Amino acid sequence: MQNIRSSGRKKSLYKKRILSLIITCTIVIIALFINFFNGPKIEEYKSQNNQLKTELQKLKEQNANLSEKNSKLNKDYSDVKAKSEEMPKVSK
């Protein structure tokens, strides 16, 4: 009786190992399939990513330049406003 139980357990363990091996092989095959067919797309995406990084860098530089110009214009505006407020005081 005990031999039958241990034999059943061995078969169950054997089935679990086979199932685990089949699942692992299936996952590996799917991963290789995806990599094989998506390889060119990945290279295309990398190229697009590099182009976008370059464009982003240019936009950051442009933003820095515009921020600097904006600061100068704000300072000039403040100076003109202060002088215009002094003008009526001088004329009185």
Distance between CA 73 and CA 55 in Å, rounded? 27
User: Residue 1: which pLDDT band, with cuts at 50, 70 and 90?
Assistant: very low
- What is the residue-averaged pLDDT of the chain? 86
pLDDT band at 37 (very low <50, low <70, confident <90, very high): confident
Reported as half-sphere exposure (CB side, CA atoms, 13 A), residue 57 has a value of 6
